[in-house]
Amino acid sequence: MTQLAETLFSNTPPIAWQQLLSLHSSKKSDENSTKIKQVTYCQGQFNISAQAQQVMNAASSHYLTLIGTTVTSDALLNLLSALSQLQVSAQISGDIVIYPPANYPLQLATTDSNAVTNNSSTATTSNNSATQGDIVVLGFTQLTATLQQQFKATLASWSNDYQIDYALSQTLPSLSQPGIVLMDMDSTTIQIECIDEIAKLAGVGEQVAAVTAKAMNGELDFAASLRSRVATLTHCPEAVLTQVADAMPLMPGLELLIATLHQANWKVAIASGGFTYFAERLQTDLGFDAVYANELEIVDGILTGKVIGGIVDAQVKADTLQALAQQYQIAPQQTVAIGDGANDLIMLKSAALGVAIHAKPIVQQQAQVALNHHDLEGLVGLLQAATCVEASWS
């Protein structure tokens, strides 16, 4: 049992929680132990049942996943109370299913699977000594569209207050089955926009960065804006690309995410509106299963200011996710996409779980899930949420 569960149960009425704590510490045989099958909450009351009575119906039910370096009992109780009141006001069954909490790694393991560190000084977890975060999954059997919007408004405020990310979804991809994660590259797998860095070294930094910002916010046609930005790099030496590639700062949690996915027999790929020069370096260094990006034309070590072939735009990214899922025989509910810009929206919406990370406003508004308090270790937490639903309180 996690520390969160023990704190919640020991500090919160009713006394039935003590029965659950006693169950986990009991030395009695399974034959003599009470089996806790389900825990629910409704209007300030917790209920423990020896039978699982709530049925999660895919047509109307949703899972709410909470991930944070620490999810305190106070934070969880405040959220349960607020969401239960919204359900009651909407005259919908107020029972909220609480699944067994779990932990997820915040940093990449080094010497063994239990000891974890992070080699990036910019990591989200760099300001604390925590090596694991808390996962809590709540189940709702009925959520109307109106109630979902009310939930999201409450969750957004609560998330900012407690620095906890959340995902409200109808399905939970599981690491126990094969799956795929398709990632944007710039500002997602790495912390920079490569074209902006090239432009700085080529002396056209401000000009290019302004266009990049508008394109990522969805204010410009992506393909046209990319070609115009690349045109400003005419006569730039290839050595500049190497200089940028050598200094690419990885998004904290990237190596942890890749290791977690490969250990679970998942595929992980990049589909980027950036350039193959950098995507292929990441593939070589980190082991991505596939990368798709735009190819800069380079003649005699000099950029010509042109892109070879078609542009990897929003639709191409979405099509790439579907093609990879078919190639690797991945079930639709096991597809995940993550990105930050407007060029990622179609891809995010085509995945079973679409995740925005430190995203632009338009993406924050439209994405299914937004990571604001995590880096890529947050996706590790979200992908491990299914283990809570699959686990037993007993």
Positions annotated as catalytic residues are: 184, 186
CA distance 296 to 336: 28
Indicate the SS3 state at residue 261: helix
**Residues 1, 21: Cα–Cα separation, whole Å:** 9
Token code pair at residue 318: 């979405």
Task: Determine the Cα–Cα distance for residues 327 and 248; give it in Å rounded to an integer.
Answer: 30
**Number of C-beta neighbours around residue 326 at 10 A:** 9
Give first-to-last CA distance, the chain, whole Å: 10
Measured between alpha carbons, how far is 304 from 337 in angstroms, rounded to an integer?
A: 32
Cβ-proximal residues to 384 (8 Å cutoff; 6+ apart), any chain: 102, 104, 135, 175
Task: Please return the burial class of 110, using the count of CB atoms within 10 Å of its CB with bins 0-12, 13-18 and 19+.
Answer: exposed
Alpha-carbon torsion (94, 99, 101, 102), positive or negative: negative
Q: Which residues contact 110 (CB under 8 A, 6 or more apart)?
A: 116, 117
CA angle 114, 385, 17 (to 5 degrees): 90
DSSP 8-class letter at 343 = G
Copy the structure tokens of residue 298.
């380079």
Closest by Cα among 154, 14, 136, 6 to 84: 154
CA atoms of 245 and 248, how far apart (whole Å): 5
Query: 155: buried, middle or exposed (CB in 10 Å: 19+, 13-18, 0-12)?
Result: buried
DSSP secondary structure letter of residue 392 = -
